[in-house]
Amino acid sequence: MPDTTRYEDLQARLGYIFRDLAFLRLALTHPSVVHERESSMQTNQRLEFLGDAVLQLVLTRELYEKFPAFSEGPLTKARAKLVNRHTLAERARHLGIGQYLILSRGEDLHNGRERLSTLADTYEALLGAILLDGGFDAAREFILGQFQTAFGGLSGIPILENPKGELQELLQSGSAEAPHYQAVSAIGPDHDRVFECTVHHGGVELARGQGRSKKAAQSEAASAALAKLREKKEVST
């Protein structure tokens, strides 16, 4: 089957038509084929390297511009959440990339078309192929279109895993004093208690939080304080 026909459906799903289908074919060529065919055959590993770089750059800029109140730490964590291998593999599955992969017979027999690492790597290689075929603007448009669908247009930064650490980092960027927490109440029987904690800085209560443990209540208080501080910063800018 000619490439122009073979890849019609895939390009329709991508929303991008390749000027040179050799780039697309290369992006779909798994390294396993080298062991079965001529050793000089090119695979998608170099494109994967390129695609990873353009993905990082595009999303870094998007996060930087959309969230001016966030420091480097939260932005780095947010980007890591957006580009983890599970997310990239899921994007590849959504596009149906697996059925178009060019694999060795052994890799194909061992479910290579659904392997998480293979799909994530191929997705990055695809981004590299679009960059080479259509330029940076085409790659950027494709990436933002993909991630707008997956993450609601990046309208909110991904939830932080360590709000207490993020709050301390934010506060200590302008003061040597660390925030401190105080348990103010514990309501309910021993097996079903709800704790309330406050977080303070510079003699001022920043926020309160509740949880099934003191640690959970402190995290909620830190999250609430972060939200207030960032909202205040956005209003003042």
- What are the catalytic residues? 52, 124
Beta strand pairing call for 194-201 and 180-187: antiparallel
The rounded distance, in Å, linking the Cα atoms of 216 and 222 is 10
Q: Are 72 and 141 in contact (CB under 8 A)?
A: no
Q: Are 164 and 218 in contact (CB under 8 A)?
A: yes
Name residue 220's amino acid: E
Q: What does R_g of the chain's alpha carbons equal in angstroms?
A: 24
What torsion, rounded to 10 degrees, do the Cα atoms 97, 102, 103, 104 define? Answer: 170
The rounded distance, in Å, linking the Cα atoms of 152 and 36 is 42
The rounded distance, in Å, linking the Cα atoms of 189 and 194 is 9
Distance of CA 223 to the CA centre of its chain: 21
Enter the tokens of residue 154.
Answer: 């990046």
